[in-house]
Structure 1
Amino acid sequence: MAHIFFAASIQRHIATPEREIDAHTVGEALEAVFATQPRLRGYILDDQGSLRKHLAVFVDGRPVRDRQHLSDGLAEESRVHVIQALTGG
């Protein structure tokens, strides 16, 4: 099963412990988390269901490519990290 982790900066707002997820895509993994943490959806996804700009998701150390449909694939032992993106100037 894939593992999904949420950064401490996200957990400050909504408790999201590390968990194992049976999912084939990033979108499926997030939907499984949202099923038990529905408030998290609005923080992670925008009104169109795309990943919010202030967040970054990495699968096995690589940034997701499909921020709109979250169709990036997961392997059996993938590690998904959801973090707040750094912004500023």
Structure 2
Amino acid sequence: MPAIKMTSHLYRFFPHLKGRTLTAPPGSVAEVLHTLNEVAPGFTDYVLDDRGAVRRHVKLSINNTVVLDRKALTDRVGENDTLFIFQALSGG
């Protein structure tokens, strides 16, 4: 099963995910995020906008490749892949 990993500061919003091994069945990025949302309700609300596209402050990659389809999330996450979820930090 594909693994799901995220930057550590996302655990501030979803502390029950910290220290867990997160996996999902192979499929599109949308399907993998939906599976994660079942474990952590509200997760997709945090990383996706009201149209279901990736929010501006979030970056996704599959292994070492940036997810190209940020609107429909059709990039495929294979059996041995890892979906990385990065939240950008900003401030001044």
Q: TM-score, normalised by structure 1?
A: 0.88
Structure 1: give runs of 5+ residues left out of the alignment. none
In structure 1, distance between residues paired with 2:90 and 2:71: 20
Shift of 1:29: 0.5
In structure 2, distance between residues paired with 1:63 and 1:56: 8
Match runs of 1:23-34 below 5 Å: 23-34=26-37
The answer as to 2:24 corresponding to 1:21 is yes
Match runs of 1:1-89 below 5 Å: 1-15=1-15, 16=17, 17-86=20-89
Shift of 1:72: 0.3
Identity in percent: 27
For this pair of structures, how many residues does the alignment match? 89
Secondary structure of 1:42's counterpart equals: helix
Secondary structure of 1:57's counterpart equals: strand
Structure 2: give runs of 5+ residues left out of the alignment. none
In structure 1, distance between residues paired with 2:21 and 2:33: 12
Structure 1's consecutive aligned runs of 4 or more residues displaced over 3 angstroms after TM superposition are none
Q: TM-score, normalised by structure 2?
A: 0.86
RMSD: 1.7
